């Protein structure tokens, strides 16, 4: 049993350090899906926002979060989902973007606000995370996980994944 006085990390730090199961290089703090951590009466209330409506990683994240907080000396953990405002890739932190780029995944560009426009032509080119060239092409609108699309660099010929801007 760990007494509260021994604890080095706050509940927020522990929760924020939970990795995303599909992008383990990123924490849920980096992704911006951790909305709130509240400590009350020896318990912790953690509020998270799902990235996509059907994202299968949410279940893994909640199980992992609870386990980590339990191990850090917080036996009572309550998880809450918050749907509004909806998650946006704009919430990924600068640190998270740097980690993505280092792992060869192009960080998402800024999401345009205002009315939802129809895009019929090519989207603005995404910078190649391998060589930095802007001469890239989108190979597929979707990728191996709900949050990514597939691109290729014409300069260095490397295929790469890019986080979708939503």
Beta carbon nearer to other proteins, 103 or 132: 103
Residue given tokens 């800024």 in the structure block: 110
How many angstroms separate the CA atoms of 8 and 149, rounded? 39
Give me the least distance between CB of 65 and other proteins, in Å please.
Answer: 12
List all residues 6 or more positions away from 123 whose beta carbon is below 8 Å from its beta carbon.
Answer: 138
Give me the least distance between CB of 57 and other proteins, in Å please.
Answer: 8
Report the interface residues with other proteins, using CB under 8 A: 19, 21-22, 24, 47, 50, 52-57, 59-60, 62-64, 78-88, 116, 118-120, 139-144, 146, 150, 164, 166
List all residues 6 or more positions away from 137 whose beta carbon is below 8 Å from its beta carbon.
Answer: 122, 125, 151, 152, 154
Beta carbon nearer to other proteins, 24 or 124: 24
The H-assigned helical ranges of the chain are: 11-16, 28-31, 57-71, 94-102
Beta carbon nearer to other proteins, 71 or 132: 71
Beta carbon nearer to other proteins, 5 or 54: 54
Give me the least distance between CB of 10 and other proteins, in Å please.
Answer: 21
Number of helices (H) and strands (E), helices first, in the chain? 4, 7
155 three-class SS: coil
Give me the least distance between CB of 5 and other proteins, in Å please.
Answer: 27
């Amino acid at each position: 049993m760990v007494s509260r006085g021994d604890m080095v990390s706050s509940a927020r730090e522990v929760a924020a350090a939970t990795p995303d199961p599909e992008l383990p290089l990123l924490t849920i703090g980096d992704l911006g899906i951790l909305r709130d951590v509240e400590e009350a009466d020896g318990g912790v209330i953690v509020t998270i926002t799902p990235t996509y409506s059907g994202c299968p990683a949410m279940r893994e994240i909640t199980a992992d979060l609870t386990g980590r907080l339990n191990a850090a000396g917080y036996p009572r953990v309550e998880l809450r989902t918050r749907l509004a405002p909806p998650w946006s890739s704009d919430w990924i932190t600068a640190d998270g973007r740097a980690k993505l780029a280092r792992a060869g995944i192009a960080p998402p560009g800024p999401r345009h606000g205002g009315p939802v426009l129809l895009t019929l032509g090519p989207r603005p080119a995404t910078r190649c995370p391998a060589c930095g060239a802007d001469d890239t092409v989108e190979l597929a609108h979707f990728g191996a996980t709900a949050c990514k699309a597939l691109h290729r660099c014409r300069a260095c010929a490397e295929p790469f994944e890019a986080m979708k801007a939503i």
